[in-house]
Each structure stands twice: as structure tokens, then as C-alpha cells.
Structure 1
């Protein structure tokens, strides 16, 4: 999943299909927004910019950790394989 504009991100988030369940969409959206917010604050308050690959890795780790923490719940059982499939 790659987005070049907020419009594309919002369109993807509103898309409902059989490929990406809404739960995974919400996790990815949350991790993306949180990581961008964190990066913005880090630049603004600490004058430190992290490389883009670090931000992408942070998003990946946030989603994986969220799925792993809830792996026993019915909605989350197959999400890790779907997340890894779309890497």
C-alpha cells in the first residue's frame, strides 16, 4: 500500500473489498497517521528528521504488534498473513 496524496489515502480507507478487511485498513490507517504525527512532532520540537524507511518500518511494527496482541480474537486471526502478503 503506497499513497502519494491524502486523497488517495482517504479513498483507499473508504474502499470495501474482499482483499483487505476493514480491521486491517483501520490498523494500517491508525499506524500511518500516528507515525506521521510522531514524525511531525519530532521535527517540530526536536529538530530531528528520521529517514523515510524508518517511518515505514515503524508503521510495519505498529501494525504487526497490534495484530499479535489481539491474535486470539476472531477478527484478527488471519490479519497477519494478509499484512505480510501485502508487504
Structure 2
């Protein structure tokens, strides 16, 4: 999932469709907000800025780890394939920028 504006992220999070289940939306939202909070604190307290692509990779890794840790739960069984499917379409979009 790649969002170029906060508004686009909020709109995506509010969507209710059959393509992206609410569990995956909430998980991606949680990891995105956590990563932004961590980056903000790192800049504020350590004066260290992380490149944007590193932050995106971190979000991707956090989502994958969360899904893997809960893979035996009913709501998480198919989430990895959905996440990878969204990631492939997003990375194709980002590489064209």
C-alpha cells in the first residue's frame, strides 16, 4: 500500500469492499501510524532522518511480521496473499513514478 497523501490514506481506510478486508486495513493503518510516530520521534530526539523508501520497507516488514505471527487465526489466514497482491500492484505503480 503506497499513499502519497494523508487524505488518500484516510479515504482508503474508510473504504469497505471485498478486495481488502477490514483486518488488513486496520493492520496496515496501525503499522503506518506506528512507523510515522517512530520516524517523528527519531527526527525530534535524535536529529536523524530516515529515507522514505526505508520507512516504506519498514511498514511492509511490520505488516508481514504481524500477519505471520497470527497466521493460525481465522481472520489472518488469507491476509499474506492479499498483502503481497496489493504490494505487487503498488510497487509497479511506484516504479513508474
Q: TM-score, with normalisation over the residues of structure 2?
A: 0.86
**Superposed CA offset, 1:8-54 (max 9, x none):** 21111010001100000001000000000000000000000011111
Equivalent-residue separation in structure 2 for 1:84 and 1:41 (angstroms): 29
The unaligned stretches of length 5 or more in structure 2 are: 88-97
Question: RMSD across aligned C-alpha pairs, in angstroms?
Answer: 0.8
1:70 corresponding residue in structure 2: 70
Q: Which moved more, 1:45-54 or 1:4-13?
A: 4-13
Equivalent-residue separation in structure 2 for 1:86 and 1:16 (angstroms): 16
Number of aligned residues: 87
Dislocated runs of 4+, deviation >2 Å? none
Equivalent-residue separation in structure 1 for 2:82 and 2:46 (angstroms): 36
